[in-house]
């Protein structure tokens, strides 16, 4: 995101405090989906030259049926200055995920669990990520797999990204959503990629070290990738620490080729 969009999103996040209502998160994700297919509408809402009163009027006309909580968050978002129209859609999408996390403290863990299931089945990943597939059919498949196993809020996020990937892999979008949900709950999400599974003691020690570095609680999710050969790769927020054997070999190859 551009600097203006980051500031706009931070300002809009303040509207997530208080009693929003259970439907706010799903309402905001539905708005993001609608705006993504309505270039003229999102351009008007992102137009910095348009008065705030005019934008709130558009919201009332187009999204008047939404809950009061959802409209208050939307109003807070569109009255900010965004770097671009697509980034306004990104922002509303993130606000929707954060609103779901406010209502469900377990959202990050649930999204990670769903991601692990998708990553574990190449066939499922292809079906859910099929760009030519019918969005409703893909959402129906996700519901068939996860319904009854995950909360309604987690299902809403999953079916949203399955039906509206916006050029992203479903598992990648869900993993980033889990990071956003964890951040809303006051913790970081660290993805640790290793060549072989870590023991419980190793995971606890790693989490402790990461918490000391981050200055707040860290949720650790482990991904096993035998191609690493050995070592570990850690991604936390926007930082990547790559101490894998594969990374060292790649670095050695580049030096030899120079």
Per-residue pLDDT of the chain (258 residues; tens, 9 = 90+): 888 999 999 999 888 876 677 889 999 999 999 999 999 999 999 998 999 999 999 999 999 888 888 999 999 999 999 999 999 999 999 999 999 999 898 999 999 899 989 988 889 989 998 888 899 999 999 999 998 899 999 999 999 999 998 888 999 899 899 999 998 988 888 888 888 888 888 888 888 888 888 788 888 877 787 777 777 778 776 677 776 667 666 765 776 665
Q: What angle do CA 113, 26, 4 make, to 5 degrees?
A: 95
Cβ count within 10 A of residue 228:
20
Residue ranges per structural domain of the chain: 3-103, 105-186, 187-258
SS3 111: helix
- Structure token digits, residue 60: 């009332």
Taking the C-alpha atoms of residue 68 and residue 47, their distance in angstroms, rounded to an integer, is: 24
The radius of gyration of the chain from alpha carbons, rounded to an integer in Å, stands at 20
Taking the C-alpha atoms of residue 103 and residue 117, their distance in angstroms, rounded to an integer, is: 24
Taking the C-alpha atoms of residue 41 and residue 57, their distance in angstroms, rounded to an integer, is: 12
Contact (Cβ atoms closer than 8 angstroms) between residue 28 and residue 70: yes
Cβ count within 10 A of residue 57:
12
Taking the C-alpha atoms of residue 166 and residue 169, their distance in angstroms, rounded to an integer, is: 9
Distances (CA, A) of 109 to 120, 154, 221: 17, 10, 9
């Amino acid at each position: 995101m551009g600097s203006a969009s980051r500031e706009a999103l931070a300002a809009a996040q303040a509207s997530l405090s208080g009693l929003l209502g259970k439907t706010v998160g799903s309402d905001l994700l539905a708005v993001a989906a609608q705006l993504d297919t309505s270039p003229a509408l999102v351009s008007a809402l992102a137009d910095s030259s348009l008065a705030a009163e005019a934008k709130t009027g558009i919201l009332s006309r187009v999204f008047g049926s939404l809950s009061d909580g959802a409209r208050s968050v939307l109003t807070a978002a569109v009255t900010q200055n965004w770097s671009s129209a697509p980034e306004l859609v990104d922002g509303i999408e993130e606000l929707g995920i954060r609103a779901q996390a406010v209502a469900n403290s377990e959202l990050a863990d649930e999204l990670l669990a769903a991601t692990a299931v998708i990553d574990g089945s190449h066939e499922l990943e292809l079906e859910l990520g099929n760009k030519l597939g019918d969005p409703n059919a893909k959402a129906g498949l996700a519901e068939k797999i996860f319904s009854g196993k995950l909360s309604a809020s987690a299902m809403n996020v999953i079916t949203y990204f399955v039906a509206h990937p916006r050029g992203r892999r479903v598992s990648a979008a869900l993993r980033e959503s889990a990071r956003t949900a964890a951040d809303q709950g006051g913790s970081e999400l660290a993805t640790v990629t290793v060549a072989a599974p870590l023991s419980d003691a190793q995971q606890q020690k790693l989490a402790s070290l990461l918490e000391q570095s981050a200055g707040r609680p860290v949720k650790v999710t482990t991904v096993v990738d035998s191609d690493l050969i050995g070592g570990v790769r850690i991604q936390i927020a926007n930082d990547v620490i790559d101490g894998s054997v594969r990374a060292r070999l790649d670095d050695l190859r580049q030096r030899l080729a120079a």
